Amino acid sequence: MKYMWIDGYCISKKGVLKDYKPEWDATRYMIKGKMFVLQGENKEGKPIITVKLKPENGDFLRQQFKEITPGYYMNKEHWNSVYLEGNFPDEVLKEMIDESYQLIFESLSKKVQQEILSAE
């Protein structure tokens, strides 16, 4: 798989925990129990990653890249899925993961954010 870097990239972010959800056959990356990345397959077995984006950014990216669709089994306004077949640009995917992480991080209380930032 071309995107082997995704796991290391996600877990390298502060405060991230990873788990596997067997009933979804998917890996989740979370901050304090709030998911920011879901990686698995769609019902046809095609590899996908789903991230949260600002609605206007998600709309823009879906118009630019055929590999991006509204979130698979998620809120279609805030979540976007990227099909990981083909040559989707690594840098764009990293930016999407970064935005998703930041949105979830900012949704946490200031106290929790500070705990995450000060943890070693």
The answer for residues whose C-beta is within 8 angstroms of residue 99's C-beta and 6 or more apart is: 51, 52, 53, 54, 57
In this predicted structure, what is the pLDDT of residue 97?
98
Specify burial of residue 29 (Cβ count, 10 A radius: 0-12, 13-18, 19+). Answer: buried
pLDDT of residue 120: 65
Contact 13, 99 (CB under 8 A): no
CA angle 57, 106, 5 (to 5 degrees): 65
Averaged pLDDT, groups of 10, the chain, 120 residues long: 89 97 94 96 92 96 94 83 91 97 97 91
